[in-house]
Amino acid sequence: MKPIAKRFIKRNDGFVCEHCGKNVLPTHHGSPRNHCPFCLWGKHLDINPGDRLSQCQGLLKPIGALSDSRKEYVIVYRCIGCGERKKSRVILHDENQNDDFNLILELSKNPISEE
């Protein structure tokens, strides 16, 4: 049986962060944002990017950051609901809201393996 290909659904919606309560704007350039630029927490909404099919709906706690030559940095998360580990691209050059680079630098000090 042939595996089902992951499908990326591009969603660029604003939201209110469930961790810190701040208003998060959509990105200016249209790239999807799935975490808060102020506290870097996210929400476990997707099975595949943008599908909103996750049953968990738990908050994603940022546990580290990795340098990636293609994406600059990625934030590594652990879901506090189900324990799943996820990654998200950092947004640093957006006219609406940039991710807090000082928090990203702090997260990058945490030893995280690239599983």
The DSSP code sequence of 87-108 is: EEE---S-SS----HHHHHHHT
What is each CA distance from 90 to 4, 18, 32, 53, 82, in whole angstroms?
28, 19, 11, 23, 23
Average pLDDT of the chain is: 87
Look at residue 111 in the predicted model and tell me its pLDDT: 77
Rounded Cα gap, residues 15 and 41, in angstroms:
12
Look at residue 61 in the predicted model and tell me its pLDDT: 97
Instruction: Answer whether residue 2 shows pLDDT above 80.
Output: no
Look at residue 3 in the predicted model and tell me its pLDDT: 56
Written as six digits, the tokens of 113 are 């393996």
- For the entire predicted model, the pTM comes to 0.84
Look at residue 86 in the predicted model and tell me its pLDDT: 93
Rounded Cα gap, residues 32 and 88, in angstroms:
10
- 40 or 13: which leads in pLDDT: 40
Look at residue 102 in the predicted model and tell me its pLDDT: 96
The residue assigned the tokens 């944002």 is: 33
Instruction: Answer whether residue 12 shows pLDDT above 90.
Output: no
Closest to 75 in 3D by CA, of 37, 49, 46, 48: 37
pLDDT, tens digit, for every residue of 28-84? 887 788 899 999 999 999 888 888 889 999 999 999 999 877 768 899 999 999 999
